[in-house]
Structure 1
Amino acid sequence: MSYSLLFRYVLIGDSAAGKSCILLQLTEKKFEPLFNLTIGVEFGCCHVTVGETPIKIQVWDTAGQENFRSLTRSYYRGAAGLLLVYDITRRDSFTNLPFWLADLRQYASENAVIMLIGNKCDLDVQRAVSTEEGKAFARENGLLFIETSARMAINIEKAFVQTAEEIYSRIQQGILDVNHKDSGVRLGPQALQIAPQSSPSVLPRTNRTSRNYRCC
C-alpha cells in the first residue's frame, strides 16, 4: 500500500501492562490472553489516513524489564510517537510512570508526541487507577491520554490515529522536520513521486475529520 508519510512509534511501560497485546490487536485483530513477555523488541505496522494523507506507522514494542532497559532506550530517539502504557488494574504500573517519563524526556526527541494509555479498561471492577487520575497525570505532563482494552479492541486504533494526527499537526507547524534523521518521520513513496525535495508545505491541511485504518 502506497503512503505519503512514515511515522515511527514505540510502545513503552511496565511488563505485563499489555503493550504486546495492544500491538497484536492493532496488527492482527486478535487477543492472546497468555501472551509471552517481550524479549528485547518486537515490531509491527499499520496504515492510517489523516485528512487525505495516507500514513504508514511502524511500531516497536519494547520490553519492560530492567535488564533490557539499555536496549529499549536506543529505540526512543528517532521515534515520532511514544505510547506510554500502564495497566489500570495495577497501581504499581501507574506509580512507575514518572520513571518512564523521565527516561523518555532524557533519551527521546523533545518534539516527539507522547500518548499515555491506560490499558485493560474492560476490567473496570478490578480498577486500581481512576480515569481522572490518568487524565490528571497526562494534563500535568503535557501528554495525550486515552484508555484502551486490547481484549475488547476498545480505542486501540483510536490511540494510534490520535497520535498520528498530533504528529501530522506538528509537521504542518514546522515543529517536526521530515528531513531530520531523528524526527521519527519520513516521506513515503507517494510524497516523493510528487515532490522529491518535499517540505511540510506540500502536505495538505486537514481538519482531522477523515480517519481510515488498515493493517500492513
Structure 2
Amino acid sequence: MSKVMLSASAISKSYQQGQNTLPILRNLDITVGEGEMVAIVGRSGSGKSTLLNLLAGLDHPDSGEVTLAGCCWQKTGERERDRVRNQSLGFVYQFHHLLPEFSAVENVAMPLRIAGVSRSEARTRALELLEKVGLLERAKHRPNELSGGERQRVAIARGLANNPAVVLMDEPTGNLDVETASEVRDLIRELSQSAATAFVIVTHDPSFAAYADRVMTLNDGRLEGE
C-alpha cells in the first residue's frame, strides 16, 4: 500500500439503550492509503455513519485508536484536533449543508478562511475548485439558486478546499436523481485519480461502490474485505 493517510486500530463502540448495551463496532481495523478510494457498504443501522464520525474524530471510540495524517485523535487535544480536521480532512454529507446566505464561491472559500488564508487567495482557490467541478459560471449563485446536483458539487469543492489528506463522504449521491448521481460519481472518481487525496465513501449505491479501489462491507460491527 502507498503511504497510509488514515488508519483505525481495534476500535469498538457501543451505545446504551435503556439498561442494555448495544455494540455497534467490534474491534474494527481499517487502513487507507494516499490517493486511494475506499467504499464502505452495509445495511442500514450497521454503524457506517458511526464509523465515519469516529474516523473524523467527531466521536470517541470505547477502545482503540484512529490516526489521520499522522495525528492520533485519542492522544491529541481538542484544539489540535480542530486544526487537523480543518487542514487535513474534508467531509461531504448526503445533504450538502451549504450556508444559504453565502454564494457558491464563498461557501467553498469558508474552510480556507477558517485556516487563515487571505480573502483574495481563498477566493482564487475556490474559483479554481468550482471550475474543476464544472460550476465556475455559478460561482456567485446562492444555494437556493442551484439544483440539487449543483449544490452537491459545491459541497465536494468545499470538501477539497484545503487539499485534505482524506475526504470522508456519507451517502454523497443518496439525495440525487439517477442521472445527477451518475455525474457526481464520475466527478468524484476523476478527482480521486487526479489528486493524492484519499476518499472513504459510505454508500448504498452498488454502482458507486464499483468505482472504488476497494469495497468493504460493514457487518456485525466488523469490516469485511480489508
What is the TM-score with the length of structure 1 in the denominator? 0.31
What is the TM-score with the length of structure 2 in the denominator? 0.30
